[in-house]
A = this chain, B = another copy of it.
Amino acid sequence: MTRENKVDDTPERKGPSRRGFLTGTAASGAALLAATAARAQTAPDPLITEVQPWASGLGEGVDATPYGLPIKYEDDVVRRNVDWLTADTISSINFTPIHALDGTITPQGCAFERHHSGAIELRKEDYRLMINGLVDTPLVFTYADLERFPREIHTYFLECAANTGMEWAGAQLNGAQFTHGMIHNMEYSGVPLRTLLEEAGLDTAGDLSDKWIYVEGADASSNGRSIPMEKALDDVLVAFKANGEALRKEHGYPVRLVVPGWEGNMWVKWLRRIEVTDQPIESREETSKYTDTLADGISRKWTWVMDAKSVITSPSPQMPITHGAGPLVITGMAWSGRGAITRVDVSLDGGMTWQPARLGKAGDSKALTRFYLDIDWDGSEMLIQSRATDETGYVQPTKDALREVRGENSIYHNNCIQTWHVKENGEAENVEVS
C-alpha cells in the first residue's frame, strides 16, 4: 500500500484533550454517552435485571491456586512462535503478546523467549559464576555468594536485535506480536557487575579503555559475547530476580546478565563466566551473527545499542476496532537504548501530519514507556503510525529513511516507523507507506 491509497484528509482528525473529550461528550450527547446510556433505556439487560449465577453461589477458595495463572478466558494472550521461521523450536524464538498488554511491565509468564540451544534447568546449588582473565584474583561465586553483595533494582527493556527484522523486506507479518514482540520490560534485582569485577581485583580507577569482558552462559551454545569495559562498569547488572521473583527458567534461572539498552543476545542467560580481556573475542555470535549487512555487502559489527523505537499495539491487526466510530483509545509503547523516551507522536494519515501522544508516566531510562492518544474516530480508514523521540533528541526514522542508509540486506536493528492500515470496518493490516 502506498501513500496514494491513504484516506482523504478529514477536517477534524486532531484528537481533543481529555478534558475536551469529556466536556464534549457531556454537552453534545456524543457517541459514547449515547451508546452507553442507550443500554439503560432499551430492552432490559438480563445481566443487570436478573441475579446471575456468580452472584448466587460461592467461588473458588484460597487454597486453589498456590501459584496462579491467567483466567481461562485469556488463553489467547500467550507467547507464540512462527513455525516457518526456524528449523526447530530449540534454537528459536517466540513473541510477547504485546498487542494485548497495557502499562509497562511484562509478566515473565508471557515474556518472549530466544534460545540458542534450548532453555536449561540449572539448580541454584549447581550454579557457579567464574570471573577470570586479566584480574588480580580469579574468583568463583556460588549463588549464595552473589546474594551477599549490595543489590540494585532497575526496570529495563530487553529487545532482540532481530525484532522487526522481517520487515526490512516489506510488510511481512500481520500482528504487533510478530512484528515487534521480541521485547519485554521487567524490574530486575541484582548486583552491579562493577562490584564483582572489583571483588576480583580489577582496578576500576585505572585506564581500562582497551579492556573488554567476554561473557558466556552455561547452556550448550554458551552464546559468548564481548562487551567493552566501559559498558561493563557503567550499568550492567548480574541479576537474579525479575518483577520481584526468581528469573524463570526460560529467562536464565538462576542468574542472567542485564545489559541495559543493548541488544538482547548480550544479556547472557545462565551466566557462567566473565573473562576480562584486552580485545574482543570475535565469537560466532558477533561475527557470523548479529552483524548488519549493508547495501554494498559490507557488514557493520558492534552495533549494540537499540535505537529509539515505538509501535502502536492497539488498534493493530490482532486488536481490531470492534465498536465503530466514536471515542477510541490508541495506545502503544516506546523505548530507547540511549535513555528515556521524552516524546511520542502519532499520525493517523500515514505520516503527513502528527500529534503528540500522552505518556502514561514519565519515561524511565532504557525502559518501556506507554503512550496513549484519545481520539474521536469518524469511522473512515486511517494509516496509523507512532514516532518516538528520546532524551538525546534522536527521532525514530521512517522505513524509507532507514533503507536509504542501510539497504535491505540487514536482519537486525530495524527501528523504523510502523504503519497499520485501519479500515472502515475496524480491521487493521500491516502495510507500508512510501
CB of A8 within 8 Å of the partner chain: no
A198 within 8 A of B: yes
Closest CB in chain B relative to A123 CB, distance in Å: 5
Query: Which of A165-173, A325-333, A346-354, A404-412 is the interface stretch?
Result: A325-333
Please judge, given known A-B contacts A110-B245, A201-B26, whether A48 and B130 are in contact too, CB under 8 Å: yes
Is the CB–CB distance between B40 and A139 below 8 Å? yes
A77 to B244, CA, bound (A): 11
Residue contact A246 to B139, C-beta cutoff 8 Å = no
Set of chain B residues within 8 Å of A361, measured between Cβ atoms: 153-154
A224 to chain B, nearest CB (A): 13
CB under 8 Å from chain B, chain A span 44-91: 45, 47-48, 52, 54-75, 77-81, 88-90
- In the complex, are the beta carbons of B120 and A54 less than 8 A apart? yes
- Does A403 sit at the interface, judged by CB under 8 A? no
The tally of residues in A whose CB lies under 8 Å from a CB in B reads 126
Looking at A70, A100, A114, the one whose CB has the most chain B CB atoms below 10 A away is: A70
Interface-side segment among A101-109, A300-308, A337-345, A383-391: A101-109
A73 surroundings in chain B (CB, below 8 A): 121, 123-124, 253
Q: Does A393 contact B (CB under 8 A)?
A: no
Contact of A77 among B128, B246, B249 (CB under 8 A): B246
Q: A153 is contacted by which of B74, B189, B360 (Cβ under 8 Å)?
A: B360
How many copies of the polypeptide does the oligomer hold?
2
Cβ-defined partner of A244 (8 Å) among B37, B48, B103, B113: B103
Q: A117-B58, A141-B36 are in contact. Are A48 and B128 (CB under 8 A)?
A: yes
On chain B, the residues within 8 Å of A154 by CB distance are: 361
Smallest Cβ distance from A150 to chain B, in angstroms?
A: 4
The answer to whether A122 has its CB under 8 Å from any CB of chain B is yes
Is A320's beta carbon under 8 Å from chain B?
no
Interface membership of A234, Cβ < 8 A: no
- From residue 93 to 143 of chain A, which have CB atoms closer than 8 A to chain B? 93-94, 100-111, 113-115, 117-124, 126, 128, 130, 137-142
- Complex: A64 Cα to B199 Cα, angstroms: 39
Contact call A243/B153, Cβ cutoff below 8 A: no
CB distance from A255 to the nearest CB of B (A): 13
- A187: chain B residues at CB < 8 Å are 103-105
B102 touches A244 (CB 8 A): yes
Of B47, B69, B79, B141, the contact of A128 (CB 8 Å cutoff): B47
**CB < 8 Å neighbour of A151 from B54, B66, B117, B331:** B331
Flag if B372 contacts A150 (CB, 8 Å).
Answer: yes
A178 contacts across to B, CB distance below 8 A = none
Tell me the complex Cα distance, A361–B151, Å: 11
Whether A47 lies near B126 (C-beta < 8 A) is yes
Is A256 an interface residue, CB under 8 A from the partner? no
Is A231 in contact with chain B by the CB < 8 A criterion? no
A323 and chain B: residue at smallest CB distance? B144
Kindly state the separation between the CA atoms of A142 and B195 in the bound complex, as whole angstroms. Answer: 53
Closest Cβ of chain B: how far from A359's Cβ, in Å? 10
List of B residues within 8 angstroms of A107 by Cβ? 107-108, 243-245
B241 touches A103 (CB 8 A): yes
Q: Are B63 and A89 within 8 A (Cβ)?
A: yes
Given contacts A62-B113, A150-B372, 12 further A-B contacts (CB under 8 A): A39-B140, A52-B218, A55-B218, A61-B115, A62-B79, A62-B81, A66-B80, A68-B249, A71-B249, A71-B253, A101-B241, A102-B153
Seen from chain A, the residues whose Cβ lies within 8 Å of a Cβ on chain B are: 18, 21-22, 25-26, 32-33, 35-37, 39-40, 45, 47-48, 52, 54-75, 77-81, 88-90, 92-94, 100-111, 113-115, 117-124, 126, 128, 130, 137-142, 144-145, 147-154, 187-189, 195, 198-199, 201, 218-220, 222, 240-241, 243-246, 248-250, 253, 270, 322-323, 326-329, 331, 358, 360-361, 370, 372, 374
What would be 13 A-B contacts, judged by CB atoms less than 8 Å apart? A32-B145, A37-B139, A54-B270, A59-B121, A67-B70, A70-B245, A71-B248, A101-B241, A148-B329, A149-B327, A151-B331, A151-B372, A189-B360
